[in-house]
């Protein structure tokens, strides 16, 4: 039986609409329609002031400096963060470990992703900086092409958040928001969680003729703690290292006795 | 209150003591002890972010049990003289490990002594000073 013409036209319109919708969903970063991506040659070629330094290289968090983002003296947590902190303190007292999420293959996320003992390779373009940590090949893209943050109502929240960078004199300032909360920690050993209200501002300077990076972090998270936490950390350029594929695989983790020890408090 | 706060900071400070280079902590491992045992290699996995060894050991009751040993990444092992084929299934070896506190067979790998008497550990590549791996010659 022949379908009525209006039905066939309606079906065709539906198919085309759904294809257009699917295509628009392929964009991981929500940008206004027609906005150039950071790797678009026309975006890279746009006239911009010359960057004061180039992060391109392999960086390793400085030996001897704590890899952890510890709270300042006299810190005050919110009640919901305090519950985790107390549980972690109780676990530590018993020689146990609270919520070993990174060991269970959850991404470390920003800021912890920056201070693993695994190197980070950075590639700087006029529009963006790609940072790839060797550990779990975690990717962080810093957008420096002038865009702003994505509308928080449509953004897909992530462990590394959304990083927008700009230059202030000899300093690169990166503003990162739009984090996800669950399984994301500021200080994982101490049980201090990051929430979806986490806001990280990094002021990055190059030192020692381009051989050392200094990052001054300002961390705020009104759902987890009161006020600003400021920490400064350093990275050394390591020209003798490259990075490889490093995935946290379930079958490999099964062979790690410490991951499956009953001393892990989930 | 001050004492409490100091206690909290002390707990955080103590938490650094666990191995910094692993991607996870050493939960359940008795870091103060080492054990040295003899056994037969069942499996050796050369992998990132951790390699591992499985070694069959006759326990004190004469029952075979598998010791699961967590190791550092291959870069650490290469620095200490390892290759991916340094040990294979069936090799008789002696090994030293930091054992699990609850007595389960397994723990963190410390070193191995091969049948030819050679002993190998694992060495951190800290600071980027790692020597380049030897060039492969077929």
Pairing status of strand A264-265 against strand A97-98:
parallel
Distance from CA of A113 to the nearest CA of B (A): 11
- Helix (H, G, I), strand (E, B), or coil: what is residue A230? strand
Start-end of H helices in chain A: 5-25, 41-44, 79-93, 250-253
Q: Indicate if ipTM > 0.85.
A: no
B94 and A CB contact within 8 Å: no
Look-up of token digits 């919708």: A21
- Evaluate whether the domain defined by A57-265 bears CATH number 2.40.128.20: yes
Residues in B touching A137 (Cβ below 8 Å): none
Identify from A235, A253, A255 which residue to disrupt to test chain B contact, counting B C-beta atoms within 10 A and taking the largest count: A255
- Sign, CA dihedral A226-A133-A135-A182, equals positive
Contact A194, A186 (CB under 8 A): yes
Q: pLDDT band at B132, cuts 50/70/90?
A: very low
Mean pLDDT, chain A, whole residue set: 90
Domain boundaries along the sequence of chain A: 57-265
Of A24, A8, A38, A29, give the one whose Cα is nearest residue A160. Answer: A29
Q: pLDDT band at A117, cuts 50/70/90?
A: confident
B136 and A CB contact within 8 Å: no
pLDDT digits (tens, 9 = 90+) for B35-70: 999 999 999 999 999 999 999 999 989 999 999 999
pLDDT at B138: 47
B20 pLDDT exceeds 50?
A: no
B92 pLDDT exceeds 50?
A: yes
Q: For residues A219 and B2, what is the distance between their CA atoms, to the nearest angstrom?
A: 24
Q: Which CATH number fits domain B28-125: 3.40.50.300, 3.40.50.2000, 1.20.1440.60, 2.40.50.140?
A: 2.40.50.140
Identify from A63, A254, A257 which residue to disrupt to test chain B contact, counting B C-beta atoms within 10 A and taking the largest count: A257
pTM: 0.83
Contact A219, A81 (CB under 8 A): no
Q: For residues B11 and A125, what is the distance between their CA atoms, to the nearest angstrom?
A: 42
Ramachandran quadrant class, B115 (left: phi over 0; alpha: psi -120 to 50; beta: rest): alpha
pLDDT digits (tens, 9 = 90+) for A144-156: 999 999 998 999 9
Identify from B14, B22, B25, B76 which residue to disrupt to test chain A contact, counting A C-beta atoms within 10 A and taking the largest count: B25
First to last CA, chain B: 67
pLDDT at A5: 53
In this structure, what token pair is assigned to residue B138?
A: 């077929």
Nearest residue of A to residue B52 by CA position?
A255
pLDDT at B27: 83
B118 and A CB contact within 8 Å: no
pLDDT digits (tens, 9 = 90+) for A194-226: 999 999 999 999 999 999 999 999 999 999 999
Domain boundaries along the sequence of chain B: 28-125
Residues in A touching B129 (Cβ below 8 Å): 240
Look-up of token digits 């390793």: A60
Instruction: Specify which residues A59 forms β-bridges with.
Output: A120, A237
How many CB atoms lie under 10 A from the CB of residue A254? 12
Of A108, A131, A115, give the one whose Cα is nearest residue A63. Answer: A115
pLDDT at A259: 85
Cβ of B11 within 8 Å of Cβ of A244? The answer is no
B20 and A CB contact within 8 Å: yes
pLDDT digits (tens, 9 = 90+) for A14-63: 554 554 444 444 445 677 778 899 999 999 999 999 999 999 999 999 98
A86 and B CB contact within 8 Å: no
Q: What is the DSSP string of B33-91?
A: --EEEEEEEEEEE--SS--EEEEEEE-TTS-EEEEEEE---HHHHHHTT--TTSS-TT-
The beta-carbon neighbor of B70 closest among A96, A240, A256 is A256
Higher pLDDT, B22 or A228: A228
Count CA within 13 A, CB hemisphere, residue A89: 16
Nearest residue of A to residue B29 by CA position?
A258
Those of residues 107-136 in A touching chain B at CB distance below 8 A are 116-119, 135-136
B128: phi then psi, degrees, rounded to nearest 5? 75, 15
């Amino acid at each position: 039986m022949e379908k009525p013409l209006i039905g066939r036209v309606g079906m065709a319109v539906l198919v085309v609409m759904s294809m257009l919708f699917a295509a628009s969903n392929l964009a991981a970063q929500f940008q206004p329609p027609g906005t150039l991506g950071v790797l678009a040659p026309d975006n890279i070629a746009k006239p911009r002031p010359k960057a004061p330094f180039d992060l391109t290289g392999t960086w390793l968090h400085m030996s001897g400096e704590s890899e952890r983002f510890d709270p300042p003296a006299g810190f005050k947590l919110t009640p919901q963060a305090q519950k985790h902190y107390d549980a972690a303190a109780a676990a530590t007292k018993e020689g146990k470990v609270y919520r070993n999420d990174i060991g269970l293959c959850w991404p470390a996320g920003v800021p912890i992703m920056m201070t693993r003992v695994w190197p980070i390779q950075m590639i700087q373009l006029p529009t963006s900086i790609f940072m790839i940590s060797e550990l779990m090949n975690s990717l962080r893209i810093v957008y420096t092409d002038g865009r702003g943050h994505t509308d928080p109502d449509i953004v897909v929240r992530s462990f590394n958040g959304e990083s927008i960078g700009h230059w202030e004199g000899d300093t690169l300032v990166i503003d990162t928001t739009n984090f996800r909360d669950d399984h994301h920690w500021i200080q994982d050993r101490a049980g201090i969680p990051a929430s979806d209200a986490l806001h990280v501002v990094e002021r990055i300077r190059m030192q020692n003729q381009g051989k050392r990076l200094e990052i001054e972090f300002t961390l705020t998270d009104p759902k987890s703690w009161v006020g600003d936490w400021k920490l400064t950390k350093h990275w050394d350029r390591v020209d003798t290292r490259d990075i490889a594929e490093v995935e946290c695989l379930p079958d490999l983790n099964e062979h790690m006795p410490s991951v499956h020890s009953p001393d892990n408090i989930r | 209150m001050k004492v409490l706060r100091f206690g909290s900071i002390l707990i955080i400070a103590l938490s650094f003591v666990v191995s910094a280079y692993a991607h996870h902590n050493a939960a359940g491992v008795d870091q103060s002890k080492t054990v040295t045992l003899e056994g037969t290699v069942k499996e050796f996995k050369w992998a990132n972010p951790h390699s591992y060894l499985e070694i069959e050991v006759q326990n004190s009751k004469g029952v075979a049990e598998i010791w699961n040993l967590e190791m550092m990444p291959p870069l650490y092992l290469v620095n200490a003289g390892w290759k991916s084929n340094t040990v294979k299934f069936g090799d008789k070896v002696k090994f030293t490990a930091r054992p699990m506190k609850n007595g389960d067979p397994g723990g963190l790998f410390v070193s191995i002594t091969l049948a030819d008497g050679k002993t190998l550990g694992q060495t951190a590549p800290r600071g980027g000073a790692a020597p380049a791996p030897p060039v492969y010659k077929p």
